[in-house]
Amino acid sequence: MKEFELKSYRVEALTFENQTKGAVKMELGYEYSYNVGYSDNNTCRGEFKIKVYDKAHTAKFHLDMTLVGHFVTAPGVAKEVLHVKTYDALFPYVKSVVSTFTVNAGVPPIFIPYIDISEKSIYRVEMPRPEA
């Protein structure tokens, strides 16, 4: 087995607001967050949240989405490695859903930019397991 395998993904939440009138020029803003929850049975759950909005009129145009992926992982792979690699595995699905949804909503497709998180600090807090 490789370091991980994507078993499934799904959109858990998607909200979209488009109250623009006519042809409007927008400067889009993007916010991403990605978190991974690990289990003892070599599985993990990645949660990718994205917000896309018009910087000048956030209330008039915005899209918020949460996409979740479920992975099987190889034993012993560092969580920091899995964090980056599972993000990279889910990003194309997030990008596809956003562009497909927006074009089907009657606006030009939004192609979200890739953010390379491999050089970013990944903050991890290990919670102690409760005593049995």
pLDDT one-digit tens code per residue, 36-92: 999 989 999 999 999 999 999 999 999 999 999 999 999 999 998 999 999 999 999
Structure tokens at 38: 């690990």
pLDDT(24) > 90:
no
Strand-by-strand arrangement of the 43-54 sheet: 4-18, 61-73, 43-54, 28-38
Q: In order of start, what are the domains of the chain with their CATH numbers?
A: 4-104 (3.10.420.10)
0.95 cut: is pTM over it? Answer: no
Structure tokens at 50: 């994205």
Query: What pLDDT does 22 receive?
Result: 79
